[in-house]
Amino acid sequence: MKGRIHSIETFGTVDGPGIRFVLFMQGCALQCQYCHNPDTWDRTGGRSADVEEILSEVEPYLDYYRRSGGGITVTGGEPMLQAPFLTELFLACKRRWNLHTALDSSGFCDPAHAEKLLDVTDLVLLDLKQMDRAKHIALTGHPNDTIIRFARRLSERSIPVWIRHVLVPGLTDSYVDLKALGEFIGELDNVEKVELLPYHNMGAYKWRQLGKTYALERVPVPSEQEMERARHIVDMRRLAGGRMERPAAGETRR
């Protein structure tokens, strides 16, 4: 079995614990307005590789991964589109080296198609983009129904999750949206960490290279004050479990 590979990073430090081998898969069904890797969307792009080829690229750096408590993270694109291939890859990493495995995913997949892969996955970095269904369609081109089911299935299986959410001014930063995000996270029993990431436009040049219009060209990077506000809302709603009915002091509904 072969997979479609976009690229690799051998010393990743932000995609799970420790130092990690980060494998970027080719192909993604979502087309997020702020995507910084639109060159991964095409499922026929990239290069073809089998499991042994990938393992041979991991092996030279094993000492770094083991000593740091790291491992392998597969991202994209959307890695779940190639779940059978990744199941073989993670199985090989476990059997050969007992290496920590992580998936960086939007969760846009049928949970039933992911069960075997989840059996050999130690951590999921789950990107929750927008909780409102209509806004999710506007932002990504697709509804979020399967994403919500996937998140709940991860909770049912007690698979550790790090939630990631990109704060995009005007698109994902309203009080109502952040409140809904915090309340949903509060329903899950397996969340170890919540990371709010500031929007950036560093991938805009890729859109231009691909002949695509980057609609968020003039959207500003959120300030640290805006990031702190968002963290406060999400944390309070997560801890409150939906019991709070009004914004915190100084907050306004948007």
Angle subtended at Cα 118 by Cα 117 and Cα 120, rounded to the nearest 5 degrees: 75
The length of the chain is: 254
pLDDT digits (tens, 9 = 90+) for 64-75: 999 999 999 999
- Give me the chain's average pLDDT, please: 93
Identify the pLDDT of residue 112. 87
Listed residue (79, 59, 68) closest to 10, CA to CA: 59
Confidence grade of residue 1 (pLDDT, cut at 50, 70, 90): confident
pLDDT digits (tens, 9 = 90+) for 20-58: 999 999 999 999 999 999 999 999 999 999 999 999 999
Identify the pLDDT of residue 241. 67
Query: In CATH, what number does 2-166+190-219 get?
Result: 3.20.20.70
Tokens of 55: 């393992």
Q: β-strands 2-12, 47-50: how paired?
A: antiparallel
- Residue 67: C-alpha distances to residues 6, 17, 184 (Å): 27, 11, 35
Whether the CB-CB separation of 144 and 130 falls below 8 Å is answered with yes
pLDDT digits (tens, 9 = 90+) for 143-180: 999 999 999 999 999 999 999 999 999 999 999 999 99
Whether the CB-CB separation of 215 and 231 falls below 8 Å is answered with no
Whether residue 7 is predicted with pLDDT greater than 90 in this model: the reply is yes
Domain ranges of the chain: 2-166+190-219
